[in-house]
Amino acid sequence: MTRAVCPGSFDPVTYGHLDIFRRTAGLFDELVVATGTNISKSRLFDPEERLEMLREACAGIPNVTVMGFTGLIVDFCREIDAHAIVKGLRGGNDYEYELPMAQMNAHLTGIETIFVPTTASLGYVSSSLVKEVASLGGDVSEFVTPAVHERLTAKLAARR
Ligand code: PNS
């Protein structure tokens, strides 16, 4: 049984993430999409909300399981017996950010990271930009599912 983990903050999940999940899920028996916490990023949604949005968004993708994790990603991978970490790359900046993490994780436990290039038409989509555009009144409905869009709109309205 081959199991891979695709970790991220997913604050919130976008069609860019879903593209990576769909294209990667078929490469393994199981893809675990795992929402964790990046301590250097501020978050809009709490962990339970991010999990709920991920579960709704991934419901139709075969082989995908959604889980939350705390602590080190390598420990989580060991706990669930995952063989690889999957990360989507939009471009050079993502590579610069992801490479040291992949190397550190390989050093810690020997786990390999597989980089998957984002579909070109989604290369500019990120959770951060979606939040910024939405918070300034822009239309982000083409970048997230209707359920995520609804939650994002409600969350931003509650913050005003
Ligand atoms: O959405 P992000 O910022 O790419 O998600 C990053 C995340 C949460 C996957 C990463 O920060 C992570 O793996 N955090 C868990 C803690 C950890 O293992 N840190 C050391 C990484 S080398």
Question: How does pLDDT run along the chain (160 residues), one tens digit per residue?
Answer: 899 999 999 999 999 999 999 999 999 999 999 999 888 878 999 999 999 999 999 999 999 999 999 999 999 999 999 999 999 999 999 999 999 999 999 999 999 999 999 999 999 999 999 999 999 999 999 999 999 999 999 999 998 7
Q: Confirm or reject CATH 3.40.50.620 for domain 3-159, answering yes or no.
A: yes
In terms of C-beta distances under 8 Å and separation of at least 24 residues, what long-range contacts does 73-77 make, across chains too?
73/5, 73/7, 73/34, 73/36, 73/105, 74/105, 74/108, 74/109, 74/111, 76/5, 76/7, 76/34, 76/36, 77/5, 77/109, 77/111
In the chain, domain spans: 3-159
Gap from CA of 70 to ligand 1 centroid (Å) = 10
pTM, 2 dp: 0.96
90 catalytic? Reply is yes
Which atom of ligand 1 lies nearest, measured to the CA of 97? 4
Catalytic residue among 127, 131, 149, 151: 127
